[in-house]
Amino acid sequence: MSSPEIVIDLEKIASNAHVVKALFGSRGINIFAVTKAVGGDPSLANILVNNGLNFLADSRIANIKRVLDAGVRAKFLLLRTLASEVDSVVKYAEISLNSDIAIIRLLSKAAEKENLIHKIILMIEMGDLREGVMPIDLNEVVRKIIRLPNIKLVGIGTNLACFGGIKPNARKMRALSSLAVDLEKRFNISLPIISGGNSANYHWFSKSEILGRINNFRLGESIFLGRETLERIAIPDLHTDAFSLSAEVIETSLKPSLPFGESGLDAFGNKPVFEDIGQIQRAILAIGKLDVQTDQLIPPENMVILGASSDHLIMNTQDKVLKVGDRVSFGLNYGALLSAMCSQTISKKYINANEYRPILQNGGGKRLESQETFSIHQD
């Protein structure tokens, strides 16, 4: 094996799925398991479904199609809706997140063509300034949505700690709860899903005695990397090392820490800065920015990643003397996980597949018909 390889421990993911479901489920919070960070990997999707998280979420229709075409018996929430994709959205996604009335209108038309009712969760802007309807515009938007013949508003949600770094704290969650109560009263509707956020909501969840109307989270990083995302602290009982990435050593040598010669720009047009710490034990690995987001790799203890070009990763291995042909394994942060799982040049190896049941063939290509009107009970 010469290429960089990502090793995926399916048993650890299965265990994480069980723990997450029990932890949040014990207090009435359902989970959409978000597969976008693993590029909609069907084997991982299947593990989630077989271990209690059968409602998945992804940002990309192509990922959803790939999972359903593989025969995985999942239902899907689409996290991001494009006007150019509404026909596929209503076909492949059970529910979609939306924040723009123009797109919701197109969804209604697309659903009408298919003779179905498409469910949406309306996203509300609560300060992070990524997606969401401004609270001041909410009533007007909901009034318009309710009039659309082929759309059913099944909930509201918010997404924090993504763009603006705003924390999902008690105040934000209370505000979302009361918006839900207000809307239900004002429009005489029921909103079964109040989706409070993502892996950044763990602190609020674990510290709050009262969860109000919040009964859903959309979780990716927590399930795959075992931690919350405000401070990137491990969540108790979750595996944080279900993924690791290895690459081969192609040169080792004692070299200076300071480049010598007339100094210009590096391969990416930046002016690099170096500290002179004398001679260091260096290793070059056959992996680079072309393969993965290298600054999101976690090196083994006592080794330091000095930098990377497109195909070479430069390391200070300190006391450890490696030799050519050795492989070095790295942990992954979120950016490394998503870039590695979507990489054309990194091979995937699944281990500990005991919990892994073969994918059922259901003909593929079409989403499961939902039972009754709406349920995300995950038993």
Ligand X SMILES: *Cc1c(COP(=O)(O)O)cnc(C)c1O
Query: Closest approach of Cβ 15 to ligand X, in Å?
Result: 18
* Smallest distance from ligand X to CB 299, Å: 23
- E strands, the chain, in order: 5-9, 30-34, 55-58, 75-78, 95-98, 118-123, 151-157, 193-197, 216-219, 243-256, 279-285, 297-298, 304-308, 313-316, 327-332, 347-351
Which among 12, 36, 65, 119 is annotated as catalytic?
A: 36
Nearer to ligand X, 5 or 221 (CB): 221
Cβ–Cβ < 8 Å for 32, 218? yes
Tell me if 177 sits within 8 A of 245, measured CB to CB. Answer: no
- In the region spanning residues 223 to 262, those forming contacts with ligand X, defined by CB under 6 A, are 229
Footprint on residues 78-97 left by ligand X (CB under 6 A):
79, 97
Distance CA(193)–CA(75), nearest Å, equals 15
40-to-165, 264, 307 alpha-carbon distances in Å? 26, 41, 29
Q: Which stretch binds ligand X (CB under 6 A): 217-225, 231-239, 284-292, 299-307?
A: 217-225
Q: Nearest 10 degrees: CA dihedral of 222, 14, 379, 181? A: 0
Q: What does the per-residue mask of binding to ligand X show for 7-46, with x meaning CB under 6 A?
A: ---------------------------x-xx---------
Q: Is there a contact between 133 and 104 (Cβ–Cβ < 8 Å)?
A: no
Q: What whole-number distance in Å separates Cα of residue 278 and Cα of residue 235?
A: 40
198 near ligand X, judged by CB under 6 A: yes
Cβ proximity to ligand X: between 43 and 229 the closer is 229
Site for ligand X in 143-162 (CB under 6 A): 159
Nearer of residues 5 and 131 to ligand X, judged by Cβ: 131
Contact with ligand X (CB under 6 A) among 221, 245, 287, 316: 221
Residue 218 makes contact with ligand X by CB under 6 A: yes
> Judged by CB under 6 A, which of 6, 176, 180, 219 binds ligand X?
219
Minimal distance, residue 367 CB to ligand X, in Å = 20
**CA angle (3, 9, 12) in 5-degree steps:** 155
Binding region for ligand X (CB under 6 A) out of 215-223, 267-275, 316-324, 342-350: 215-223
- Tokens 């509201």, located at residue: 156
> Which amino acid does the sequence have at 374?
F
Annotated catalytic, 167? no
| CA 72 to chain CA mean position, Å | 18
Q: How far apart are CA 14 and CA 238, in angstroms?
A: 10
Site string for ligand X, 92-131 (x = CB under 6 A): -----x----------------------------------
**Contact between 51 and ligand X per CB under 6 A:** no
What residue has token string 């763009």?
Answer: 163
Q: Which of 150, 84, 74, 143 is nearest to 119 (CA)?
A: 150
Residue 242 or residue 287: which is nearer to ligand X going by CB?
Answer: 242
Site residues, ligand X (CB under 6 A): 34, 36-37, 59, 79, 97, 159, 198-199, 218-222, 229
State the catalytic residues: 36
